[in-house]
Amino acid sequence: MILQRMITKENWLKLVSYKIVDSSKWCWLCFGPNVHFLSACSAADGFYASIIFDTSKDTVYQVEITDYRNNRCYQMTNPDYNEAYQNERRQRNNHNICIELEIVNDFMTKAAAIIAGEQYDSQIQFPLETIKDDLLILLLAAHSSNMTFNEYIQSNSILQLTSTALIKMLNR
């Protein structure tokens, strides 16, 4: 199964019911010269949504949804442009507090629920790319740890994220 790498403009516009409240040129340079920004929000419904895209080609660079009811922000950055975005974010000393999502369906599900004012699963989905031999090793490791496969993946992902964060802090 091939996962969709990024949300489309059409899907985002449908998600916000075509209710655009703001539109402007995107001023950061990391995505190139023909970049535009749209946003939709509702104070009554407790959300803010935005999309950054190219006006000359069919490329979406980033989408964001903020849930004011639960004080959470999720964003999804096009993987082809994430490194350039992160570099400019650091140059601008921008401390983004959004949770980065990697799976389109995860973003769409959370965003649809936030816009509708419904409860949603705040756990983060991430792609697990593995080959059959690796999968067998992971399943056996989970079994020997007396955990389900999901529990094993989640616990090791948390350890990996924590160790990665510590390494980054130590290298500053």
Alpha-carbon separation of residue 69 from 15, 46, 66, 125, 165 (angstroms): 18, 6, 9, 21, 28
Quick check: 74 and 99 in contact, CB under 8 A? yes
What string of pLDDT tens digits covers the 172 residues of the chain? 445 789 999 999 999 999 999 999 998 999 999 999 999 998 888 999 999 999 998 899 999 999 999 999 999 999 999 999 999 999 998 887 899 998 899 999 999 999 999 999 998 886 666 556 677 777 788 888 888 877 877 776 555 544 454 455 445 4
pLDDT tens across 31-62, in order? 999 999 999 998 888 999 999 999 998 899 99
Q: Where are the domains of the chain?
A: 9-121, 128-172
